[in-house]
Amino acid sequence: MLGFVYLLILLSVFNFRDADGAKVLGIFPVPGRSHYLSGSTLMKILAEKGHDVTIVSPFSEKTPPKNYHEVLLSGLAEDFKKKAPNMFDVNLNPFVGPVVFGFILRSMVESVFNHTAFKKLMESEQKFDVVIIEEFDLPAMKYVAQRFKAPLIMYNALDANEWVNQYQGNPDSPAYLPSTFLPYPSHMTFFQRLFNSLLYVHNYLVRNLLTLPLQNRLLHQFYPDAPHLNEFVYNTSIVLLNADPSVHEPMPKVPSLINVGGFHIKKPKPLPKDLQDVLDNAKNGVVYFSLGSNLQSTMMPLDKREILLKTFASLKETVIWKFEDEELPGKPDNVIIRKWLPQNDILAHKNVKLFITHGGIFSTMEAVYHGVPIMALPVMAEQELNSKRAEMNGYAKFIPFRKITEDKFVSYLNELLRNPKYKENAKKRSQIMTDKPTTPADSVNFWVEYVVRHKGAPHLRVAALELAWYQYLLIDVILFISVLLVVVIYAVKYSFNLIFKRKTSEKVKIN
């Protein structure tokens, strides 16, 4: 009996080995560095596990690791940088934003489809076992999986949101799930719920009446034989979400949605000697300040920079600031600037007392992982929502960047540095983040292999994806019941009248 079980185990191990050394194609077309960093980290995890990965993106590595091939979309990042406005100055209305965005997304897909390196890949005879694409509301990109006849995995740098929910049939009630671009808590007030619901409908219409048709036309311009977008955009096997209960609000998820938040966090490495000395010798502790890899501190408005400098000068802590220039005029003695800093390794140092950040999701997760409280200065996109959640969870304070005032900044910094409850809450969140059966990086690898082994994951698909919108919203059922009710009411009324009339006419006859 035992021998039989042993044989079974051996057989199943043998059976399940066919995902080894899979050929993985990763498409990370968004021309922002933080998107590339998370995408390349994801692909490197798979390369390290022995898979043969190819990554398509506007950025490249100085020294690509083993099993890691690049298709460089040269020029895209540079073009985008030229065209993009200074993010410190942008303040788009949440209703206008998605419409403008719809056109930006279209031109993003166009620049990829029209790129020589991409065309060459699409014409090549290469075979892939699975295609991974970064979700950024670029549905036409999903055609790559069709072209290579491979199962599709999407990767979303956010939690499940409007880009993901529609295509996976995930429940997404605006009653308690705020839009990614609104800094609302899950427990919304009536007016927040009203605004959130209106934006939800607005975004649904923009996505289905603008973004999808624009990209469908573009797809057929480049690939005339391609099927209509609607025939394959709902065919994603699984979505890897950069989400984790330590930083995101709980929400329902269909089985094809997989949390792998925190996969980018590595074990800390030793710091360069100069930084190690600074951190070791900071007897009053260290405040670490960085606005991430997309935003440049050098671009921030001067009045805000003055406020920051003045406030830092008043602190007894050492401030380490990621500042992308040689000189910072008026720099106080306790402030140290570097063009680039090993963020994860700095946050791991015991003398770091506070992280001043733009509230991007990767930075927020690193802070939580290392149990460091946050002062967030969100600038754009989902940063304000991340910051709001961090504040609700008791390990952060935030001020939207354009609303920074000296009074508020000084008082928040002092509160965060002097009140121990922020550190305690950060530690609690850290424990939540690290309490898992497997590391997020191992989860990434498991689920990619899972999709390769099963050649897709149709068994995880919910039937909602086969329903028309009016069936999903039960409008046909409600209409049917309404009509039935009306018919019954009229029938009752009619028969009542009939009986009543007969009775009165009988009475008349008697009289």
Ligand X SMILES: *[C@@H]1O[C@H](CO)[C@@H](O)[C@H](O)[C@H]1NC(C)=O
Contact positions with ligand X (CB under 6 A) in 387-416: none
What letters, b where the CB count within 10 A reaches 16 and e where it falls short, cover 197-228? eebbeebbebbeebbbebbbebbeebeeebee
Closest to 35 in 3D by CA, of 356, 381, 451, 266: 381
* Shortest Cβ 458–ligand X spacing (Å): 7
Site string for ligand X, 93-112 (x = CB under 6 A): -----------------x--
- Which three-class secondary structure string do you get for 440-496? HHHHHHHHHHHHHHHCCCHHHCCHHHHCCHHHHCCHHHHHHHHHHHHHHHHHHHHHH
Q: Does 277 bind ligand X (CB under 6 A)?
A: no
* Shortest Cβ 235–ligand X spacing (Å): 4
Alpha helices (H) in 16-71, listed in sequence order? 33-48
Question: Total residues at the site for ligand X (CB under 6 A)?
Answer: 8
Give the interface segment with ligand X, choosing from 45-53, 231-239, 252-260, 293-301 (CB under 6 A). Answer: 231-239
Closest residue to ligand X, based on beta-carbon distance: 456
Query: What one-character DSSP code corresponds to residue 63?
Result: S
- Residue 265 near residue 441, CB atoms below 8 Å: no
- Residue 341 near residue 320, CB atoms below 8 Å: yes
* Shortest Cβ 10–ligand X spacing (Å): 29
- When binding is defined by CB under 6 A, the residue of 183, 452, 456, 461 that contacts ligand X is 456
Q: Does 114 bind ligand X (CB under 6 A)?
A: yes
Closest to 387 in 3D by CA, of 347, 358, 414, 424: 358
- When binding is defined by CB under 6 A, the residue of 34, 192, 235, 439 that contacts ligand X is 235
* Shortest Cβ 130–ligand X spacing (Å): 9
Tokens of 204: 């649904």
Tokens of 288: 């670490």
Give the residue with the Cβ less far from ligand X, 38 or 215: 215
Report the distance separating Cα 38 and Cα 446, nearest Å.
18
Site string for ligand X, 144-173 (x = CB under 6 A): --x----x----------------------
Q: Chain-centre distance of CA 414, in angstroms?
A: 31
Give the interface segment with ligand X, choosing from 181-189, 229-237, 256-264, 295-303 (CB under 6 A). Answer: 229-237
- When binding is defined by CB under 6 A, the residue of 18, 61, 79, 231 that contacts ligand X is 231
Give the residue with the Cβ less far from ligand X, 76 or 271: 76
Give the interface segment with ligand X, choosing from 83-91, 93-101, 230-238, 480-488 (CB under 6 A). Answer: 230-238
Site string for ligand X, 416-455 (x = CB under 6 A): ----------------------------------------
* Shortest Cβ 454–ligand X spacing (Å): 9
Alpha helices (H) in 85-183, listed in sequence order? 96-113, 116-123, 143-147, 162-168
Q: Does 232 bind ligand X (CB under 6 A)?
A: yes
| Residue in the block written with tokens 């605006």 | 174
Q: Point out which residues bind ligand X (CB under 6 A).
A: 110, 114, 146, 151, 231-232, 235, 456
